[in-house]
Structure 1
């Protein structure tokens, strides 16, 4: 089916689990594609393909090598493997987000699919990809794939600069969602398998020599990519400001989760309730406006400590003040942060949450 017609005159189609853009004229393209990637002026089309065979199933190569696999996919969707650059992802093409912005004669469009729940990470996180892997497996975790179309002519170096600005915009969107890394306590800057294609139009009379943040082109790249990334993530996995309004999701990257809280409760409470009852109370508390607000402040203190913007003593003092404020709100005893490190701060917050849940359970039992 036809999704839209771009300002360049090219048409965007969706079929065979792919989003395809055949070019009407020569384009300047830079991409991270493994096949026909890098800077090219001889491409005739680009595509984004959903390689996910089904829920719970691994994405596998359909040929002995990845290059042959991509060639097969390219031929199936009716394109020339020698002059086509493609990307693959486990995200559904049905969940694509398309955003366009204009300024005078300049038009920029971002076409995005994405998911980072499984392999969202922060640049510099520990990695093991250097180890040998099975060549017959295509990595399946969520990927943010971006096709950015600029209806203006750009010199090759500025096409590259546009990709940098595009990447910054993606990361800014993730930070505004407070999306966490799955490999460290940091905020995600992308997934481990993100791919990007940037397309410029050499036939355009508009010629630009800047794509950075001080330029109108850079602004439009940000204003298209950021909302498109957010929309694509919401469509694919539900990631949104509403979903992030959660104490557990805010603390996830620091390892504070349902099972850990349950074990701590069961190990330290003589009259522990059954697990379903405990989890019910935890989930009721999880989205409480007051607790989510204080959780956001408390987690940011931990971030400031990790980034060495605040000292351990400063975080300990401010953290204890937050604990007192939250404890007073819920009528429980405030734990005290015993040391100036992250582990001590997390232990104190865990104790606070357990105090609140225990108090709620006792009140419920007394009312019976």
Structure 2
């Protein structure tokens, strides 16, 4: 992992299969790194292309093998949680901002304030295509559990928030044969991933609230 200034980079030791809806290389991709780019309000003025802004910040990372995220959160506030059991392990790197916290089903509308939860969810073993999708669902569930436990309110409805309006989740597994077929809560690797995501998100939530004197 490498940080400094407005950029946070997590590099993989070998190519990973990655699934996300990231602004740079979203969808199902082969990647060697994930990059967070912190943006200020004065950078995203009308006429500025957010994707071009992110791409220009990649430095030595090859654009075609890098998944990129944008955030207004100070990237130095990231949390990095590793959990392991025998040869299996899972990791979550999270940046958490809650200024745009919303509940699923809230009325749509313009962005009133910024804040997003960006998660990199990495596992130690290859996954089948269906297990990669299941890992994404599990990560989203764990993120929401952390928000509900903290009773973070939606900025629009005052219901308990289930995320923000601009969250992004990146799930990554090393490429290779013999991928795990399942990533649900009954599997050891699924349990590790769920725990890592839940804890990393919870730490980020606590920090964000403490910075504002809420907790």
TM-score, length-scaled by structure 1: 0.54
1:62-81 matches, cutoff 5 A = 64-74=48-58, 77-81=59-63
Distance change (3 Å), C-alpha of 1:31 and 1:209: same
Distance change (3 Å), C-alpha of 1:61 and 1:105: farther
In the aligned structure 1, how far is the partner of 2:133 from the partner of 2:113?
27
Deviation of 1:144 (Å): 0.7
Distance change (3 Å), C-alpha of 1:239 and 1:174: farther
Distance change (3 Å), C-alpha of 1:61 and 1:156: farther
In the aligned structure 2, how far is the partner of 1:157 from the partner of 1:14?
33
Match of 1:126 among 69, 82, 107: 107
In the aligned structure 2, how far is the partner of 1:188 from the partner of 1:63?
32
In the aligned structure 1, how far is the partner of 2:124 from the partner of 2:47?
36
- Does structure 2 retain, via aligned residues, the 8 Å contact 1:115–1:237? no
Deviation of 1:58 (Å): 4.6
Match of 2:84 among 102, 120, 142: 102
Match of 2:189 among 195, 217, 240: 217
Match of 2:148 among 172, 175, 183: 175
TM-score, length-scaled by structure 2: 0.90
- Does structure 2 retain, via aligned residues, the 8 Å contact 1:62–1:69? no
Residue 89 of structure 2 aligns to a residue in which SS?
Answer: strand
In the aligned structure 2, how far is the partner of 1:238 from the partner of 1:105?
36
Unaligned runs of 5+ in 1: 1-11, 134-138, 245-368
Deviations along 1:78-119, one digit per CA (max 9) or x if unpaired, are 222222111111111121111111112111011011011x21
Distance change (3 Å), C-alpha of 1:239 and 1:218: farther
Residue 125 of structure 2 aligns to a residue in which SS?
Answer: coil
In the aligned structure 2, how far is the partner of 1:32 from the partner of 1:82?
15
1:248-287 matches, cutoff 5 A = none
Distance change (3 Å), C-alpha of 1:127 and 1:65: same
| Residue 193 (1) aligns with residue 166 (2) | yes
Give the structure with the larger helix fraction: 1
Q: Using CA pairs below 8 Å that are at least 6 residues apart, which structure has the higher relative contact order?
A: 2
- Does structure 2 retain, via aligned residues, the 8 Å contact 1:63–1:69? no
Aligned to 1:249: none
Unaligned runs of 5+ in 2: none
Deviation of 1:65 (Å): 2.3
Distance change (3 Å), C-alpha of 1:93 and 1:64: closer
In the aligned structure 2, how far is the partner of 1:140 from the partner of 1:113?
17
Q: Bigger radius of gyration, 1 or 2?
A: 1
In the aligned structure 2, how far is the partner of 1:157 from the partner of 1:231?
29
Aligned to 1:265: none
1:41-56 matches, cutoff 5 A = 41=30, 43-52=31-40
Deviation of 1:63 (Å): 6.8
Aligned to 1:266: none
Superposed CA RMSD in Å reads: 2.4
In the aligned structure 2, how far is the partner of 1:218 from the partner of 1:106?
10
| Residue 34 (1) aligns with residue 15 (2) | no
Residue 126 of structure 2 aligns to a residue in which SS?
Answer: coil
In the aligned structure 2, how far is the partner of 1:31 from the partner of 1:233?
22
Aligned to 1:89: 71
Deviation of 1:239 (Å): 7.3
In the aligned structure 2, how far is the partner of 1:14 from the partner of 1:173?
25
